[in-house]
């Protein structure tokens, strides 16, 4: 019995690679400074959620119900909690990208269910 399709595995692996890759790049100082870093980290957050959505994992995050919205708001609120400048310059765009994308995905699903 196969638990995951090939496409699901690819998208799940891509999500892990994106998060791990952007974290390693930031940790070793290989990202550009300023707005470029912010955009790159934000896009990595957005792409991670898109990969999870395409992998259909976990479905409760994307069903337009309280689980998805709660997780989206938690990510967005967490984005402002960095203590140091380095934490804020990485955490804010990454968590905001994750949270906003998850929020939009849930709004779209909620509208789709009610229209």
Return the residue matching tokens 């997780």: 71
> How many separate domains does the chain show?
1
**Over the stretch 13-67, which tens digit does the pLDDT of each residue have?**
999 999 999 999 999 999 999 999 999 999 999 999 999 999 988 788 999 999 9
Cβ contacts of residue 110 below 8 Å, gap of 6+?
Answer: 64, 65
% pLDDT > 90, the chain: 80
Print the domain residue range for 88.
Answer: 6-114
Does 1 map to a domain?
no
């Amino acid at each position: 019995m196969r638990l995951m399709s090939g496409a699901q595995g690819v998208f799940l692996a891509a999500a892990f690679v994106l998060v791990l890759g952007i974290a390693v790049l930031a940790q070793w100082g290989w990202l550009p400074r300023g707005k470029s870093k912010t955009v790159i980290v934000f896009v990595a957050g957005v792409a991670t959620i898109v990969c999870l959505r395409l992998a259909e994992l976990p479905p409760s995050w994307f069903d337009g119900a309280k689980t998805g919205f709660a997780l989206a708001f938690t990510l967005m609120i967490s984005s402002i909690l960095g203590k140091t400048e380095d934490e804020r310059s990485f955490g804010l765009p990454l968590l905001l990208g994750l949270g906003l994308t998850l929020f939009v995905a849930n709004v779209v699903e909620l509208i789709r269910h009610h229209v």
